[in-house]
Amino acid sequence: MGVVVLWTCGLVYVASAIVTAVVVFLASKWVGDELRPATHRVSLSVAAGVVWPVLLLGMFELSSFVLYTKVAQHVERGIAIVG
pLDDT tens per residue, the chain (83 residues)?
Answer: 788 999 999 999 999 999 999 999 999 888 877 777 777 888 889 998 999 899 889 989 999 988 888 887 766 665 555 65
The half-sphere exposure of 16 on its side-chain side, counting CA atoms within 13 A, is 13
- What domain range is 61 assigned to? 52-83
The half-sphere exposure of 18 on its side-chain side, counting CA atoms within 13 A, is 5
pLDDT in the model for residue 6: 93
My answer on whether 58 and 44 are in the same domain is: no
pLDDT in the model for residue 14: 93
- The secondary structure element, H or E, covering residue 50 is helix 41-50
pLDDT in the model for residue 81: 59
pLDDT in the model for residue 30: 85
pTM above 0.85, yes or no: no
My answer on whether 41 and 67 are in the same domain is: no
CA distance 10 to 83: 39
My answer on whether 13 and 37 are in the same domain is: yes
